Chains A and B, each alone.
Chain A
Amino acid sequence: MLKTGGHIDYNTEVITVRHVSKSFGENHVLRGVDLKLHNGENLVVLGRSGTGKSVLIKLISGLLKPDSGTIEVLGEHVDELNEKELQQLRLKIGFSFQNSALYDSMTVRENLEFPLVRNKRHLSRAEINHEVEDVLDAVGLLNTINQMPSELSGGQRKRIGIARTLILRPEIMLYDEPTAGLDPITCIEINGLINEVQEKYKTSSIIITHDLACAKSVGDRIVMLLDGRFERQGSFDEIFDTDDERVKPFHDYNFIT
């Protein structure tokens, strides 16, 4: 199930994170994080619960501000942009939230239209409908188009969440635990979807997960967040070729019975 490449350009970095720190009061979550995402690459971020993985991608998308350090996305310094420039940049970043964050007062169709009608005002009604049906088809949920989010299962919500971010054709995708809490078959479907997105839309992605099967099947490269820093990185096998007690349990829990 190991991944066979994409079209990765190791000479272009779409995201560059340098020495980023972030604390919440006394809680020092990130302590000097460095990270690179190459063009076309699927980068998996592993780490225990509460190590600040979600915080990291919120920093990248400008939802949170770093205490120190710099974050460059597609050549722009995120923390130096004004409101408008940030909004423009965000259109190129798809953010799939840990809990899907679907708008629960709107139907699936309205959820998907929402970013579209607001950001691509020149589109006609027919074009919007076409786009919506296109991404829904890509995640295999065309039949749910008129349902409310509350009527969907967790896995369906995840996929709709991914569809909603795909609809703006982002250059970068940030997936926050796309397979958490899902059954193995749905996980495999989602992993397939992530790889398909990489192929079809030529995106570069950061995938946050605890799920090593997911890491193995979607990751071109894996980094591990330990004690507020990325201490290990490499391919799947390189990462787990260690006796480090902070790393081994991840592997053993998943693959040894």
Chain B
Amino acid sequence: MIKNIQRILIELANIHRFVMRFFREVFMPPYEFKEIVRQCYVVGWKSLPLISLTGFITGVVFTNQSRPSLAEFGATSWLPALISIAIIRALAPLVTALIASGKVGSQIGAELGSMKVTEQIDAMEVSGTNPFKFLVVSRVLATTISIPILSFYTAAVGLFGAFLSVNQNENTSFRVYFDQVFDAVTFLDVFSLVLKAVVFGFTIGIVGCYQGYHSSKGTEGVGKAANWAVVMSMFLVFVEEILIVQIIQAMRA
């Protein structure tokens, strides 16, 4: 028991050091622009199909599930407003982050893990390249930039899915639906989406990189790195979700 707690504390200290190193190196030249752009492409573009599907289904299912409750009060005309708030405040960043934790987080963990195990990271280091900057900083920046963009995209797809459902059942037109959708959102809602997405993106990137960069020798180390990257970033995403909601609530009041 004491040993476990000790291990967790040591791990936390290591993560803290890793994060501090990121902030120290992110502003120092040379900047690896090309690699950052390439990573954005990898992170963003490659998760697009899965995110499209999930976002769309989330929109449809959420709408269909909410309808009966509103119908009880004869308030189905509130559907667009309800959907819009739910998707933009909560669902879009969360769904995006969870998908990305699974797809991007595990990929980063496995990729850096295998580079670590096969000494490719050491090889970079001895050939005069800073591997932290080239591998870690570029990936973390890429997820921090891409996840917010993806979140907006998820929101758009989700709102569109919801529209199809509302249009089918309530005969609401495209114009009316989106008028109501945009009427319901405030600046703070959009701000909370961006804030969450940035924090989630940073978390997914840094956790994946940390697990990979510190993976143990041997091939099972790579699997473990990928696995832990997913578990840990999903857990942290939920914790951060709760914290950010509290902060936004406080700002709303």
Contacts and interface: CB of A to CB of B under 8 A. Distances in A.
A101 B123 contact: yes
Contacts of B115: 103
A97 B126 CA distance: 10
A119 B123 contact: no
A95 B128 contact: no
B179 interface: no
B120 A63 contact: no
A63 B124 CA distance: 11
Chain A: interface residue count, which band?
Answer: 20 to 34
A177 B30 CA distance: 34
21 contacts: A58-B122, A61-B126, A62-B126, A63-B126, A87-B130, A90-B125, A90-B127, A95-B127, A99-B119, A101-B120, A103-B115, A103-B124, A104-B118, A105-B111, A114-B127, A118-B127, A118-B128, A119-B127, A119-B128, A164-B127, A165-B127
A119 B134 CA distance: 13
Contact of A90 (B118, B120, B126): B126
Contacts of A164: 127
Interface string A113-136: 011001100000000000000000
B120 A114 contact: no
A91 interface: yes
Contacts, number: 57
Interface of B: 30, 111, 115, 118-120, 122-130
A168 interface: yes
Contact of A101 (B30, B118, B129, B130): B118
A208 interface: no
Contact of A93 (B119, B120, B126): B126
A245 B249 CA distance: 76
A83 B132 CA distance: 12
B112 to A, nearest CB: 11
The 5 closest A-B pairs by CB, nearest first: A115-B127, A101-B123, A101-B119, A95-B126, A119-B128
A99 B217 CA distance: 13
A56 interface: no
A99 B128 contact: no
Contacts of B120: 101-104
A85 to B, nearest CB: 12
A98 to B, nearest CB: 8
A103 B125 CA distance: 13
Contact of A103 (B123, B126, B130): B123
Contacts of A58: 122
B10 to A, nearest CB: 14
A17 B120 CA distance: 26
B80 to A, nearest CB: 46
Contacts of A114: 124, 127, 129
Contacts of A168: 127-128
A118 B129 contact: yes
